Chains A and B, each alone.
Chain A
């Protein structure tokens, strides 16, 4: 890699921005459904602890959402500032998908988040619940459209090219392109799984700092229940997704498995150093036939090797290692979820200090897996921007290397700064006792002509914490 090359720099810049951005939607997409669950439980049972859980986590949500929004705006501009060729050539297809994301999702999330955060005294519980549901639907709709576009870039369908410009022929085929259902399912489950470990991690900080309340264990168990079910489910979905990739993007799978020569009964490589110079693997530790079994469900199945795609396949080592990181974290999640599930749900124990420590370390493990997974699929797409149709190189903007390098450095500094304060603010909030959290709920005061408290569903009137929050 030549770091003075504006093309490399433009890619690094976009990769840095999108890597940073994805961290936050990953949490907000999953967390808003959890918030809706907390709010619903509170509405159904009247148990204040669910409401406390809601108000604690809605703060985390607001923080996460805000960073997701502002880093997302960056993305919408960088399509133009860094990759004008992409929009000039594929804009007819990509544009409407992004447009629908803005129209159906962004405004909905942003508008009703205000109600979730500030509406305590201004709207009835039913409206509050509706707002939470609309935000959840909004974030998921946003995932729907952007993953549809990403999947279309991986497995383009429903278009034709006239005079070098893409034209959509069948929108249904564009949106529901071959890899989209798998990618959407894989990502949505990844979001929930990330949030599951976040809930457990932050709750364990509260236990370890001895600022826990009855709500803490309820949150912990919510996260654990999600993890117990979703961690193994993710392996299953991931397998389906892999089979889909094997069918449509064989070069990517060859890089994942570091298979150089086309072979039948290919082994699964646990570890190796793939070497593109000699086109071999060094220090390989292999399990015979396993790759063929996984990908073709047949011990003698054929896997097409990288040499069939010479010059048109992605860099092997990053894809190979990123995949192993993703799977490794996934396995760790399963092990942890089942161990904890067994001791907490079956043996009815309280999590012990060792378990809490491990949960604390795994707070952001979802981020590691998500990033690794995206590197597999996005680096695995190279050298194509739209798979087999449009190369990345043909879409880059012509900026001087100096301009791009200086803005890249600024972005990286900014991102490091934000990440540092994001995590330390989470720590800060997690160390607060329940009362001081309730005292800092953001809210607008009641209107003078307010009659909301007479609504049957609204519990604010009998809320003992009301006095402290004023």
Chain B
């Protein structure tokens, strides 16, 4: 077995899931914020994510797809253990996806119902993804502390999504909605910090494997930049939101994305070389070399293309969505 092949696929899977969290994160966040908007702002919010959400959602299919292709053993174990949150998350995704289309196409009398379903689906999806992340970090072992940790993760992830959604709206909508979005983001700032802090403290407590990896010397110093940079990014977001520093909204959104990247790096460091912590390593779980090699060709050719046309589509629909959106 060529040792680098499974590593490449683990990296592709990580990238896909990271892109998912950032990209679908902002549109799920918009869904979570929808109930707080006035009726005439809702169309504007939805049209800010209209051309993108379908493709955003596809990243999780790629993430799970790579898990399946490259690590079939792990795919089975992980998804069997996560049966309930995965099923509920899927129902959330289904509800959100259909509500998105029905709310503009069905009669006006149904619009309020579909708005509600859109937000409910977004919330269910976000909660379940947090729950799944929590169970994954605790090695998929159900115990009281692990369950509490999963619960913590379940309520933390929606906070991150709300922040991403709010800053996305700041970038993509005009006043007065943009300033409303700024207020939403400000309200999410402290909870986000609290979530980051508590998760960081709780993670080594619930997982001996992870605490061993974090606090071993000298590797500890290699890891140190991750929390430090996270604190810097987080502080910067706060300064901008409270008006101490001015910067473009896009930079704010990207700073939050950077926090996601740092969290992903931290997670990758904590898990590596395992794919299921304490149970199965990347190499043990890997599919056969010929399958990985065959798929690698596809990844090498199509992934740059996908990234290319994703950027292309974002450029086509750049700029602010107008106040009175023609989407309605």
Residues of A within 8 A of B (CB): 59, 62-63, 65-67, 69-74, 76-77, 79-81, 84-85, 87-88, 91-93, 95-96, 98-100, 102-104, 106-108, 110-115, 117-119, 122-123, 165, 167-168, 171, 397-399, 403, 407, 410-411, 414, 418, 421, 424-425, 428-429, 440, 442-445, 447, 469-470
Contacts and interface: CB of A to CB of B under 8 A. Distances in A.
Interface of A is mostly: helix
Contacts of B75: 79-80, 84, 87, 91
Contact of B55 (A99, A114, A119, A429): A114
B58 A63 contact: no
B94 A71 contact: yes
Contacts of B55: 107, 110-111, 114
Nearest to B322: A445
Contact of B313 (A70, A76, A115, A398): A115
B18 interface: no
Contacts of A103: 62, 298-299, 302-303, 306
Interface stretch (B78-86, B229-237, B258-266): B78-86
B65 A470 contact: no
Interface in B28-74: 47, 50-52, 54-55, 57-58, 60-62, 64-66, 68-70, 72-73
B101 A62 contact: yes
B240 interface: no
A110 B58 contact: yes
Pick from A79, A111, A411 the residue with the most CB of B within 10 Å. Answer: A111
B127 interface: no
A102 B72 CA distance: 16
- The 4 A-B residue pairs whose C-beta atoms are closest, nearest first, are A91-B72, A84-B76, A80-B79, A114-B51
A67 B68 contact: no
Interface residues on B, range: 35 or more
Contact of B83 (A65, A69, A165, A399): A399
Given A74-B94, A77-B64, A102-B65, A442 B84 contact: no
29 contacts: A71-B94, A73-B60, A73-B90, A80-B68, A80-B80, A81-B80, A81-B82, A81-B86, A87-B72, A87-B76, A92-B290, A95-B68, A95-B295, A96-B294, A102-B61, A107-B58, A107-B306, A110-B55, A112-B313, A115-B313, A167-B288, A397-B83, A399-B80, A403-B84, A424-B106, A428-B105, A440-B104, A440-B328, A469-B326
Nearest to B81: A81
B80 A67 contact: no
B176 interface: no
Interface in B265-280: none
Contact of A118 (B50, B70, B86, B288): B50
A124 B16 CA distance: 31
Given A102-B62, A167-B291, 20 more contacts: A72-B61, A79-B68, A80-B75, A80-B78, A96-B69, A96-B291, A96-B298, A98-B69, A102-B61, A103-B62, A107-B302, A113-B54, A114-B52, A399-B83, A407-B84, A421-B102, A443-B326, A444-B47, A444-B326, A445-B326
Contacts of B97: 66-67, 69-70
B68 A91 contact: yes
Contact of B98 (A407, A418, A442): A418
B167 to A, nearest CB: 20
Interface string B216-258: 0000000000000000000000000000000000000000000
A158 to B, nearest CB: 11
Interface in B87-132: 87, 90-91, 93-98, 100-102, 104-107
B316 A122 contact: yes
A102 B13 CA distance: 13
A66 B75 CA distance: 26
Nearest to B64: A76
A445 B322 CA distance: 8
B115 to A, nearest CB: 14
A59 B105 CA distance: 8
Contacts of A96: 69, 291, 294-295, 298
B179 interface: no
A167 B287 CA distance: 9
A69 B321 contact: no
B327 A442 contact: yes
B319 interface: yes
A167 B1 CA distance: 14
A99 B295 contact: yes
Interface string B288-313: 10110011001100110010011001
B51 A444 contact: yes
B298 A104 contact: yes
